[in-house]
């Protein structure tokens, strides 16, 4: 049984750098775009469960095999998904290109990438993250400095944290909010 500290270090070093390729892989093989991020999170969970019994020698093939099996299971379980999708997935070979992880970034590059992600944030969100990470201000000080509510500071931190994490792993780095479609539906 591998302990959590070892697993966490392994995830950060080997698994999360594969995120861009993994997301692309799921998107290519699953019809519902809105399921992609849920599926990715489930794949990480399955990877965790499988790696607990022993870390694999190579993370890449391991992660994509887990991902493929998970998609097949999901397609089988969801009776609303047609059966040809299951057939497609079962006959699918994992493409060699998805097995190549993004180059591991050196610490300095990671810091640059963090800054680039920060630059992409909306103005207020960027300012809140900057004040916390660089100036070391408290939530209250940030709220006072920007004349906004503390709850807003916290919400902007949540947005910023998530968007920067997405960008650092090769995503678009956009702030995720409830979609306008979801809002329209809720106001019916």
Binding positions for other proteins, rule: CB under 8 A: 4, 8, 11-12, 16, 34, 37-38, 40-42, 44-45, 47-49, 78-80, 107, 110-111, 113-115, 118, 129, 132-141, 150-151, 154, 157-158, 161-162, 164-165, 168-169, 176, 178, 182-183, 185-188
Distance set, CA 134 to CA 104, 148, 161 (Å)? 25, 19, 14
Q: Compute the least distance from the CB of residue 81 to other proteins, in Å.
A: 10
> Between residues 27 and 92, which has the closer beta carbon with respect to other proteins?
27
Q: Are 129 and 159 in contact (CB under 8 A)?
A: no
Q: Compute the least distance from the CB of residue 93 to other proteins, in Å.
A: 26
Helix locations, the chain, DSSP H: 4-10, 19-29, 36-51, 59-77, 83-91, 107-119, 123-133, 139-146, 150-168, 180-186
Q: Compute the least distance from the CB of residue 13 to other proteins, in Å.
A: 9
> Between residues 54 and 136, which has the closer beta carbon with respect to other proteins?
136
Which 3 state secondary structure label does DSSP give 170? coil
> Between residues 1 and 93, which has the closer beta carbon with respect to other proteins?
1
- Long-range contacts from 175-182, C-beta under 8 angstroms, 24+ separation: 175/121, 175/122, 175/125
> CB-side exposure of 49: number of CA atoms within 13 Å?
9
Q: Compute the least distance from the CB of residue 28 to other proteins, in Å.
A: 18
> Between residues 89 and 157, which has the closer beta carbon with respect to other proteins?
157
Q: Compute the least distance from the CB of residue 122 to other proteins, in Å.
A: 16
């Amino acid at each position: 049984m591998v302990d959590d500290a070892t697993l966490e270090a392994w995830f950060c070093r080997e698994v999360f750098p594969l995120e861009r390729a993994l997301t692309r892989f799921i998107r290519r093989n699953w019809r519902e775009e809105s399921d992609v991020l849920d599926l990715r999170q489930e794949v990480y969970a399955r990877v965790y469960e499988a790696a607990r019994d022993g870390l694999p020698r190579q993370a890449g093939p391991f992660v994509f095999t887990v991902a493929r099996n998970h998609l097949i299971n999901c397609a089988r379980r969801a009776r609303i998904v047609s059966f040809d999708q299951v057939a497609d997935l079962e006959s699918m070979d994992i493409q060699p290109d998805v097995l190549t992880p993004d180059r591991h970034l050196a610490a300095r590059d990671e810091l640059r990438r963090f800054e680039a992600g920060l630059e992409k944030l909306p103005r207020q969100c960027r300012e809140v993250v900057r004040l916390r990470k660089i100036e070391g201000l408290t939530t209250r000080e940030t709220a006072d400095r920007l004349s906004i509510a503390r709850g807003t500071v916290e919400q902007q931190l949540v947005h910023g944290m998530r968007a920067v994490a997405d960008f650092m792993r090769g995503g678009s780095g956009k702030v995720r909010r409830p979609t306008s479609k979801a809002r329209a539906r809720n106001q019916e």
